[in-house]
Chain A
Amino acid sequence: MPAEELGQLLSMRGFELAGIETAGGSTVVDLEITANRPDCLGVIGLAREVATALNLPLRQLSRGAPAPLSLASLEVGNNELVSVTLEDADLCPRYAAAVAEVTVGPSPAWLAARLHAAGVRPINNIVDVTNYVLIELGQPMHAFDLARLAGPEIRIRRARNGERSTTLDGVDRALTPDMLVIADANRPQAIAGVMGGAESEVTTSTRFVVFESANFDPKSVRITSRKIGLKTEAAARFERGADIGAPVLGIERACALLEAIGAGHAVGPVVDRYPSPRPPRQVLLRRPRIARLLGQSIPDDLVEGYLSGLGFALAKNAPGWDVSVPSFRVDIAREADLIEEVARHYGYDKLPTTFPELREPPASSDPRVDRDRQARQIMTAAGFTEAITFSFIEAEAAARFTDGAPPVPISHPLSEKFSALRPSLLPGLLESLAYNRHREQRDVQLFEIGRRFSREVGERRTMALVWTGTSAPPHWSGSQRPVDFFDVKGVVEGFCTRMGVDTSVARTKRPYLIDGRTAAVQGRGTELGTFGQLSPKTAAATDLPPQDEVYVAEIDLDALDAVMRGMGRGEGRGGRDSTGQRVTPLPRYPSMVRDVSILVDDVLPAATIRGTIRSAAPLTLVDVREFDRYQGKGIPEGRVSLSLRLTFCSPERTLTDAEVQQAMDRVVAALTREHDAVQR
Chain B
Amino acid sequence: MIDAAELDRLRAEFADELAHVASNRDLQGLRDKYLSRKQGVIVGLLKNVATAPAAERPRLGSLANALKLEIEDKLTQRRAALDADRPSTGSVDVTLTVRPLALGYRHPLTIVREQVEAIFVRMGYQVIEGPEVEDEYHNFEALNIPAEHPARDMQDTLYLGTPLGSGTLLRTHTSGMQIRYMETHQPPVRIIAPGKAYRRDNLDPSHSPMFNQIEGLLVGEDITMADLKGTLVGFLRQLFSADTRVLFPPTFFPYTEPSADIFIGCLLCGGSGCPVCKRTGWLEVLGSGMVHPAVFEAVGYDPERYTGFAFGVGIERLALLMYGVDDIRAFYENDVRFLQQFPS
Known contacts A414-B209, A459-B133, A336 near B292 by CB under 8 Å: yes
Q: Mark A349-374, 1 if CB is under 8 A from B, else 0.
A: 10111111011101111101100010
Which listed residue, B222, B233, B250, touches A340 by the CB 8 Å rule?
Answer: B250
A 625-659 contacts with B by CB, 8 A: none
Cα distance A363–B107 in the bound complex, in angstroms: 28
Q: Mark A381-415, 1 if CB is under 8 A from B, else 0.
A: 11111111111100000000000000011111111
Residues of chain A within 8 A of B153, CB atoms compared: 35
Q: Is A306 an interface residue (CB 8 A)?
A: no
- Main SS of the interface on chain B? mixed
Known contacts A293-B224, A295-B226, A362 near B124 by CB under 8 Å: yes
B 85-126 contacts with A by CB, 8 A: 96-100, 102-107, 109-110, 114, 117, 121, 123-126
Q: Is A14 an interface residue (CB 8 A)?
A: yes
Q: Across the interface, do A389 and B332 meet the contact criterion of CB distance under 8 Å?
A: yes
B 119-148 contacts with A by CB, 8 A: 121, 123-129, 131-133, 148
Which listed residue, B104, B114, B131, touches A382 by the CB 8 Å rule?
Answer: B104
Find the A residue at minimum CB distance from B200. A414
Find the B residue at minimum CB distance from A236. B150
Cα distance A82–B196 in the bound complex, in angstroms: 58
Q: How far is the CB of A332 from chain B (nearest CB, A)?
A: 10
Q: Across the interface, do B257 and A219 meet the contact criterion of CB distance under 8 Å?
A: no
Q: Is B53 an interface residue (CB 8 A)?
A: no
Q: Across the interface, do B231 and A356 meet the contact criterion of CB distance under 8 Å?
A: yes
A119-127, A249-257, A438-446: which lies at the interface:
A438-446
Find the A residue at minimum CB distance from B102. A383
Which listed residue, B103, B132, B257, touches A383 by the CB 8 Å rule?
Answer: B103
A182-190, A447-455, A610-618: which lies at the interface:
A447-455
Q: Is B258 an interface residue (CB 8 A)?
A: yes
Q: Is B13 an interface residue (CB 8 A)?
A: no
Q: Is B333 an interface residue (CB 8 A)?
A: yes
Which listed residue, A352, A386, A421, touches B105 by the CB 8 Å rule?
Answer: A386
Q: Is A344 an interface residue (CB 8 A)?
A: yes
Q: Is B325 an interface residue (CB 8 A)?
A: no
Q: Across the interface, do B226 and A354 meet the contact criterion of CB distance under 8 Å?
A: yes
Residues of chain A within 8 A of B100, CB atoms compared: 473
Known contacts A239-B150, A383-B103, A475-B97, A390 near B335 by CB under 8 Å: no
Residues of chain B within 8 A of A365, CB atoms compared: 121, 126-128
Q: How far is the CB of B225 from chain A (nearest CB, A)?
A: 5
Cα distance A389–B107 in the bound complex, in angstroms: 11
Find the A residue at minimum CB distance from B223. A356
Residues of chain B within 8 A of A441, CB atoms compared: 336-337
Residues of chain A within 8 A of B19, CB atoms compared: none
Q: Across the interface, do A293 and B249 meet the contact criterion of CB distance under 8 Å?
A: no
Which listed residue, A223, A358, A451, A458, touches B124 by the CB 8 Å rule?
Answer: A358
Find the B residue at minimum CB distance from A239. B150
B36-44, B63-71, B74-82, B156-164: which lies at the interface:
B156-164
Q: Across the interface, do B258 and A435 meet the contact criterion of CB distance under 8 Å?
A: no
Q: Is B227 an interface residue (CB 8 A)?
A: yes
Cα distance A14–B261 in the bound complex, in angstroms: 9
Which listed residue, A35, A360, A475, touches B150 by the CB 8 Å rule?
Answer: A35
Q: Is B343 an interface residue (CB 8 A)?
A: no
Known contacts A380-B344, A408-B161, A344 near B97 by CB under 8 Å: no
Q: Is A240 an interface residue (CB 8 A)?
A: yes
- How many B residues face the partner with a CB closer than 8 A? 91
Residues of chain B within 8 A of A294, CB atoms compared: 224-226, 258
Q: How far is the CB of B83 from chain A (nearest CB, A)?
A: 27
Q: Mark B147-189, 1 if CB is under 8 A from A, else 0.
A: 0111101100011111011010010000000000000000010
Cα distance A40–B303 in the bound complex, in angstroms: 29
Find the A residue at minimum CB distance from B127. A365
Residues of chain A within 8 A of B126, CB atoms compared: 362-366
Q: How far is the CB of A375 from chain B (nearest CB, A)?
A: 12
Q: How far is the CB of A598 from chain B (nearest CB, A)?
A: 35
Q: Across the interface, do A459 and B188 meet the contact criterion of CB distance under 8 Å?
A: no
Residues of chain A within 8 A of B159, CB atoms compared: 410-412
Q: Across the interface, do A293 and B162 meet the contact criterion of CB distance under 8 Å?
A: no
Of the candidates B117, B124, B151, the one having the most CB atoms from chain A within 10 angstroms of its own CB is B124
Q: How far is the CB of A629 from chain B (nearest CB, A)?
A: 26
Q: Is A348 an interface residue (CB 8 A)?
A: yes
Q: Across the interface, do A351 and B229 meet the contact criterion of CB distance under 8 Å?
A: yes
Q: Is B198 an interface residue (CB 8 A)?
A: yes
Q: Across the interface, do A385 and B336 meet the contact criterion of CB distance under 8 Å?
A: yes
Q: Is B307 an interface residue (CB 8 A)?
A: yes
Q: Is B218 an interface residue (CB 8 A)?
A: yes
Q: How far is the CB of B140 from chain A (nearest CB, A)?
A: 14
Known contacts A219-B148, A385-B104, A439 near B229 by CB under 8 Å: no
Which listed residue, A292, A435, A444, A459, touches B132 by the CB 8 Å rule?
Answer: A459
Q: Across the interface, do B188 and A359 meet the contact criterion of CB distance under 8 Å?
A: yes
- How many A residues face the partner with a CB closer than 8 A? 92
Q: Across the interface, do A410 and B250 meet the contact criterion of CB distance under 8 Å?
A: no
Cα distance A344–B251 in the bound complex, in angstroms: 9
Find the A residue at minimum CB distance from B227. A356
Q: Across the interface, do B250 and A14 meet the contact criterion of CB distance under 8 Å?
A: yes
Q: Is A581 an interface residue (CB 8 A)?
A: no
Residues of chain A within 8 A of B292, CB atoms compared: 336
Q: Is A608 an interface residue (CB 8 A)?
A: no
Residues of chain A within 8 A of B252, CB atoms compared: 14, 34-37
Q: Across the interface, do A386 and B258 meet the contact criterion of CB distance under 8 Å?
A: no
Q: Across the interface, do B218 and A391 meet the contact criterion of CB distance under 8 Å?
A: no
B 213-250 contacts with A by CB, 8 A: 218, 220, 222-227, 229-231, 233-234, 247-250
Of the candidates B117, B220, B225, B290, the one having the most CB atoms from chain A within 10 angstroms of its own CB is B225
Q: Is A512 an interface residue (CB 8 A)?
A: no
Q: Across the interface, do A476 and B332 meet the contact criterion of CB distance under 8 Å?
A: no
Cα distance A365–B181 in the bound complex, in angstroms: 12
Q: Across the interface, do A366 and B128 meet the contact criterion of CB distance under 8 Å?
A: yes
Cα distance A515–B211 in the bound complex, in angstroms: 37
Known contacts A356-B220, A366-B128, A296 near B226 by CB under 8 Å: yes
Q: How far is the CB of A536 from chain B (nearest CB, A)?
A: 23
Known contacts A35-B154, A414-B209, A421-B164, A386 near B104 by CB under 8 Å: yes
Q: Is B340 an interface residue (CB 8 A)?
A: yes
Cα distance A358–B223 in the bound complex, in angstroms: 11
Q: Across the interface, do B104 and A353 meet the contact criterion of CB distance under 8 Å?
A: no
Residues of chain B within 8 A of A459, CB atoms compared: 131-133, 164-165, 167
Residues of chain B within 8 A of A359, CB atoms compared: 188
A 3-36 contacts with B by CB, 8 A: 11-14, 16, 34-36
Known contacts A295-B227, A391-B132, A381 near B103 by CB under 8 Å: yes
Q: How far is the CB of B147 from chain A (nearest CB, A)?
A: 8
Q: Across the interface, do B293 and A334 meet the contact criterion of CB distance under 8 Å?
A: yes
Residues of chain B within 8 A of A439, CB atoms compared: 335, 337
Of the candidates B104, B150, B248, B337, the one having the most CB atoms from chain A within 10 angstroms of its own CB is B104
Cα distance A641–B258 in the bound complex, in angstroms: 77
Residues of chain B within 8 A of A363, CB atoms compared: 126, 190
Interface residues of A (CB under 8 A from B): 11-14, 16, 34-37, 218-219, 222-223, 239-240, 292-296, 334-337, 339-340, 343-344, 348-349, 351-356, 358-360, 362-366, 368-369, 373, 376, 379-392, 408-415, 418, 421, 432, 435-436, 439, 441, 444-447, 450-451, 453, 455, 458-459, 472-473, 475-477
What are 17 A-B pairs at a CB distance below 8 A?
Answer: A14-B249, A35-B154, A293-B225, A348-B260, A351-B226, A354-B224, A369-B117, A381-B103, A382-B104, A385-B336, A388-B109, A389-B334, A411-B160, A412-B159, A415-B202, A459-B131, A459-B165
With A14-B250, A444-B336, A446-B334 already in contact, 4 other A-B pairs whose C-beta atoms are closer than 8 Å? A359-B188, A365-B126, A385-B336, A411-B161
Interface residues of B (CB under 8 A from A): 96-100, 102-107, 109-110, 114, 117, 121, 123-129, 131-133, 148-151, 153-154, 158-162, 164-165, 167, 170, 188, 190, 196, 198, 200-203, 209-210, 212, 218, 220, 222-227, 229-231, 233-234, 247-252, 254, 257-261, 290, 292-293, 307, 331-337, 339-340, 344
For the complex of A and B, list the 4 residue pairs with the smallest distance between their C-beta atoms, beginning with the closest: A295-B226, A295-B224, A409-B161, A34-B252
